[in-house]
Chain A
Amino acid sequence: MAIYSFWIFDKHCNCIFDREWTLKSNHASGTINSKLNEDTAKLLYGMVFSLRSISQKLAGQGPHNEIRTIATGKYRAHVLCTASGLWFILLSDLKRENLSEVLRYLYGEIYIKTVVHNWLSPIDFAESEAEKRGRGTRKIRNRNFLQRVEEFLGPMIN
């Protein structure tokens, strides 16, 4: 299996989308926006946040030093941080070395076109002060977005 899961976090530290595949033989297996993944989402957010702060400390004179991949003994996480504070994270196996193009496509061609350009979808997923600082549970439930993510990432999971 090449891709294990896909996550989006917003600037309020909330997980606004998660998709996890469990069986490599079945594109439709796994969970979408599952409540069971809340704890994992927090751990993943914390890991990327810590490593981002390390990379910003290590940056030399260059303008910025964003994190790209995080590899462990079992899997590799690919990260795309946008200027608006969104984080796109893909977990893949160790054979995939660089998925930044895939993440760019997910952001530029799918997220922008089906969520940002959609008047019926909220721009900011935290509606009140109580939903900021990582306490919100709102997710992207846009039909077009879900469908296009499945179409794009489905063939890559095995």
Chain B
Amino acid sequence: MAIQTILVINKSGGLVYQRDFSASAPRLSSNEYLVLAGTLQGVVAIASQITPKSLQITRKTGSKSGSDANHSSQLVPYVGALGSSAVPAQELGSFMGPDYFNEAFTSWNTTGLKHVTTDQNSLFLYQTLTGVKFVAVSSQSATSTMAVSIAENLLRKAYCLYVDYVMKNPFYEPEMPIKCELFDKRLGELVAQL
């Protein structure tokens, strides 16, 4: 799974960060990427509106077992060290241990858009509780649940980097484009491991 592009979209639908990682990445102007981010924000909102009726019915009359099954389906399994070269512990910023996290985690994106596949690409979306969205564009069309959980793990690690190097930067203004060298560098290392 080759990651072409990673985008970060803020809670109001504006593009705050965009980076290409491969030479095969599409050459779009920064304006086109802004439009793309705004469109994705709209689609995330629409996708939760068209939940099928049968799901709405089962949720209303849902028994305990149903809600439990729903809860477990929102858990994303932890995928161990992505790639071969493990990074030394002191490279993980304020995170201790061999990796940022080592347990399954809950996906906060329960009804919104998660994963889109086309003939050439697949697009993965990770949403945080505060409304920040991380988008990865991969150059392979993968539909398997394994690919989705790998992508969610990768994007959660990108979120850990965001927390460390963007949120703790006193010169960063919230909701504005990210210009942080350390974030750039660490994200590059993270994607290079894959």
A residues engaging B (CB < 8 A)?
A: 1, 4-5, 20-24, 30, 40, 43-44, 46-47, 50-51, 53-55, 57-60, 62, 64-75, 91, 94, 97-98
Establish whether residues B117 and A58, one from each chain, have CB atoms under 8 Å apart when the complex forms: no
Main secondary structure of the interface of A (DSSP, over half): mixed
- B49-83 Cβ-contact flags toward A at 8 Å (1 or 0): 11111110100000000000000011000000000
> Inside 8 A of B121's CB, which chain A residues have their CB?
55, 58, 65
Establish whether residues B143 and A58, one from each chain, have CB atoms under 8 Å apart when the complex forms: no
B residues engaging A (CB < 8 A)?
A: 24, 26, 28, 32, 36, 39-40, 42-43, 46-55, 57, 73-74, 107, 109-121, 123, 137, 141, 143-145, 148
> Inside 8 A of B54's CB, which chain A residues have their CB?
1, 4, 20-24, 30
Establish whether residues A58 and B144, one from each chain, have CB atoms under 8 Å apart when the complex forms: no
Partner of B143, one of A4, A44, A66, A97: A97
Partner of A44, one of B42, B50, B119: B50
> Inside 8 A of B143's CB, which chain A residues have their CB?
68-69, 97-98
> Inside 8 A of B113's CB, which chain A residues have their CB?
70-72
Query: Measured between alpha carbons, how far is A60 from B73 in the docked complex, in Å?
Result: 34
